[in-house]
Structure 1
């Protein structure tokens, strides 16, 4: 009997040890898996991260129009005849529609009205047909003598710049957000080539930018300098910042991170220019003359509150804000209430476009436009 119990207990002990070993192995495997995931996550947050633009749920945006030129009636921005003056504002439309929707047209009209002595350049990455110029928003904008509409063929536009090989090599087709990332590259190219002010097409300009210093950007939050409104002049400071931006894009372009080539560029540059990572401490005094304005001047309503522009109510910020950024990428699907802040801004600052579209101005826009 003793031998029986001895064998039985040895058997049970052996089974217990086996279970413990199996559990330890499973835990070891699980621990290894967790460590691999954590290491992968850490790497993805660093410059060592691979460009994973091809991981995308759905079809990629079609920007084939950027590289063709049928039926285009606009003068070419890459030609020698395109020589904008130093007081210039640049808008870039980088979808393939070859037109402006009502909200984009409002941005251009408001800029033109606020800056009668400036040249307002609207550069289309897609061909614009003759009928489009005769109808809709472009027919209204052409009545403003300071508005210039041009076609930009990006491959030619990048020639003889540090981005020539990157663009001609098709980098902008290797991205999840082809329309937005083309806009990112073009804004910095325009400021590099000509100097001036860049503005997104989802803004309403409430005041002239003349009182501002010549070189500036603006914080969107305490962690990001935005790229929706930028000014790089032709002076030494403006040239150095523009060149730094082009170098950053050339060396650090990422197709799988939405803001990496836009706000990421100016944020990284200014951290070096200002010798600080604390954005709230950035100013002309700490950034060698380059001003970093607070969000109240250009982004008075945060992007997560963008819907406030479209519901009935008031936003009493016109005395402070030069520009109202309305976040089309997040709000383009919203109807515009006739008593909303955005409708009131439009009636005041882009009355011609508002009158042209009437009730249609209050409808959602098609979300195939740039920011």
Structure 2
């Protein structure tokens, strides 16, 4: 390099460093800004669940919605009518749309309501409780909800996660709010609450995409079901409110908090109950669990055909009319069928379709189907 070139090169290098400094500052600012937004978002989501009782109503113009005001949902812990231990079927609504000022107004889709009606229809001697985590009010004129409430055994309540976990094995863990470190928050809140509900009351928990086809007769209330992927599912759980049923609910809660990872799908759902059942039965083999109730402390694992006869990759059996007859034949001996909502929720279906799902709805949720205007979504 020539001597006269050296100061020019040094000047260029220094000017490059000077130009680089603002770029670095901008990047740091962007990172800090994004972290603050994420933190703010997490706080907002927490408040959706923590303060759903009071949030959102002030900005709603109820006059524009209907003549009457909203009807408040009673807190399940303090309502006069409470779940009967061991004689209640539970459903959870954990959806919390934090950006929507109307988020605490309960709305149930026809497919969700269909499942609830099917439980009330087949179990008239059981109470059916629908527990909402964020919604604390309902519209008095909602035809879907009013149809459900025409069943005298259906009750809709709200719950507060912090209150509901008090005096349970996960109370302190909930207060640390590690639960909210999750990519799948609503799913994990649902995974946790079904265990808390059964710990408090026992009974039967069902996902809102589990359609009841017939009631359990002469079966112990302590049971789960095997899924098609050779794991134990958590979409259906029956536990007695006393004895080993209560102890199993406690074991599920302890495993949930001990092995919690909110960023892995199913880690805190089917994988969690499968881990506990492997411990209880001293085997990972589902078939071995099913063959020996004594080995599993009296907990029955129903075979796949009873709850999950139609697997998630076979949705054509529910939605394609040409499979309708085969669908009805396959399900004739099942207790329940899983509609796999996380895969099928975007599949449109008209109420006058000849699809198997509509034929099932006509038998097991006829009232909801009648008030559904066009789309069974």
Cα distance per residue 1:282-326 (max 9 Å; x no partner): 122431211001011111111122343111122113331111110
Question: Under a length normalisation based on structure 2, what TM-score does the superposition of the two structures give?
Answer: 0.76
Q: How many residues align structurally?
A: 304
Q: Which residue pairs with 1:288 in the alignment?
A: 297
Question: How does 1:263-342 map onto structure 2 within 5 Å?
Answer: 263-283=270-290, 284-312=293-321, 313-314=323-324, 315=327, 316-336=329-349, 338-342=353-357
Q: Which residue pairs with 1:255 in the alignment?
A: 262
Q: Which residue pairs with 2:33 in the alignment?
A: none
Looking at structure 1, the residues matched to 152 and 124 of structure 2 have their Cα atoms a distance apart, in angstroms, of 8
Query: Closer, same or farther in 2 for the Cα pair 1:309/1:130, shift >3 Å?
Result: closer
User: Are the aligned partners of 1:65 and 1:127 in contact in 2 as well (CA < 8 Å)?
Assistant: no
Cα distance per residue 1:180-215 (max 9 Å; x no partner): 111000000000111011000012111012432120
Query: In the alignment, does 2:132 pair up with 1:124?
Result: yes
Pick from 110, 113, 132 the counterpart of residue 118 of structure 2. Answer: 110
After alignment, is 333-342 or 149-158 more displaced? 333-342
Pick from 27, 32, 49 the counterpart of residue 66 of structure 1. Answer: 49
Q: Which residue pairs with 2:109 in the alignment?
A: 101
The 3-state SS of whatever aligns with 2:275 is helix
- Following superposition, the deviation at residue 108 of structure 1 comes to 0.3
- Following superposition, the deviation at residue 241 of structure 1 comes to 0.7
Q: Which residue pairs with 1:234 in the alignment?
A: 241
Q: Which residue pairs with 1:5 in the alignment?
A: none
Query: In the alignment, does 2:197 pair up with 1:190?
Result: yes
Unaligned ranges ≥5, structure 2: 1-37, 58-70, 97-102
Question: Under a length normalisation based on structure 1, what TM-score does the superposition of the two structures give?
Answer: 0.78
Pick from 360, 371, 377 the counterpart of residue 345 of structure 1. Answer: 360
The 3-state SS of whatever aligns with 1:253 is coil
Cα distance per residue 1:233-262 (max 9 Å; x no partner): 023120111111011112111111110111
- Following superposition, the deviation at residue 80 of structure 1 comes to 6.8
User: Are the aligned partners of 2:309 and 2:331 in contact in 1 as well (CA < 8 Å)?
Assistant: no
The 3-state SS of whatever aligns with 1:358 is coil
- Following superposition, the deviation at residue 62 of structure 1 comes to 4.7
Unaligned ranges ≥5, structure 1: 1-55, 366-371
User: Are the aligned partners of 1:274 and 1:282 in contact in 2 as well (CA < 8 Å)?
Assistant: yes
Cα distance per residue 1:1-53 (max 9 Å; x no partner): xxxxxxxxxxxxxxxxxxxxxxxxxxxxxxxxxxxxxxxxxxxxxxxxxxxxx
Looking at structure 1, the residues matched to 80 and 228 of structure 2 have their Cα atoms a distance apart, in angstroms, of 39
Query: Closer, same or farther in 2 for the Cα pair 1:150/1:80, shift >3 Å?
Result: closer
User: Are the aligned partners of 1:73 and 1:127 in contact in 2 as well (CA < 8 Å)?
Assistant: no
Q: Which residue pairs with 1:92 in the alignment?
A: 92
The 3-state SS of whatever aligns with 1:192 is helix
User: Are the aligned partners of 1:128 and 1:151 in contact in 2 as well (CA < 8 Å)?
Assistant: yes
Cα distance per residue 1:140-180 (max 9 Å; x no partner): 11111000100011111111111112222222321001111
Q: Which has the higher contact order (CA 8 A, sep 6+)?
A: 1
The 3-state SS of whatever aligns with 1:225 is coil
